[in-house]
Structure 1
């Protein structure tokens, strides 16, 4: 058996070993739930609460914008709507960045364990 066949067999064995780990991380909810259990869980709950309040403000501003009679009122409610949308985007962006941080930390821990096992040997 030449070196190419050995490399191919080793890569295939590695794929078979890692496949269950990769299948486990599929889906948004499997990635989203750990941020509610991690060290930043209080901040995550706070940001989610603020996002709900901001959503209410966003809908209210939109309603007021479309029902305003005067141009000055439309400008005011339009600016409020834009600010609320930007706040909502910022909070959702932070939540997804936190989700990615949690996922990345979990993967780094797996690599660390694999390296420790590799150094110790079978």
Structure 2
């Protein structure tokens, strides 16, 4: 930490320190994933996870059916199911990781806003 950070932390009262400590600690991926289920979009995130599970099962079933069927037309149909499943899973995972990134950025912005407001309070008291 730098000198300015030390000066800011010295001026904080206890409740501000607790609030700042909740925002200042870096979250690992597991904590970030659990936090995503507590946000405003928890319904959409649960829906995406359910869809990913559904398309994963469809993927496995399509691969199984592809290797057990004999007709070319059926093989092409099951290959289409496989490709559709891979695309759907990829798109949903990309959306979910973008949501996790948005959650992390929002958390960092809140931390910076808190530090700015605390610094402004310190400057107003002098």
TM-score, normalised on structure 1?
0.78
Give the paired residue count.
112
Q: Which runs of 5+ in 1 are unaligned?
A: 1-7, 15-19
TM-score, normalisation: structure 2:
0.76
Indicate yes or no: 2:3 matched with 1:10: yes
**Pairwise mapping of residues 15-54 of structure 1 onto structure 2 (< 5 A)?**
24-54=25-55
Query: Structure 1 residues 23 and 113 mapped into 2: Cα distance closer, same or farther (>3 Å)?
Result: closer
Are residue 114 (structure 1) and residue 112 (structure 2) matched? no
Which residue in 2 is equivalent to 1:86? Answer: 87
Q: Distance in 2 between matches of 1:23 and 1:64?
A: 50
2:16 corresponds in structure 1 to: none
Distance 1:22 1:12 in 2: 15
Q: 1:94 to 1:46 in 2, by over 3 A?
A: same
The structure with higher relative contact order (CA 8 Å, sep 6+) is 2
Structure 1 segments, 4+ long, off by >4 Å, are: 11-14, 20-23
SS where residue 70 of structure 2 aligns? coil
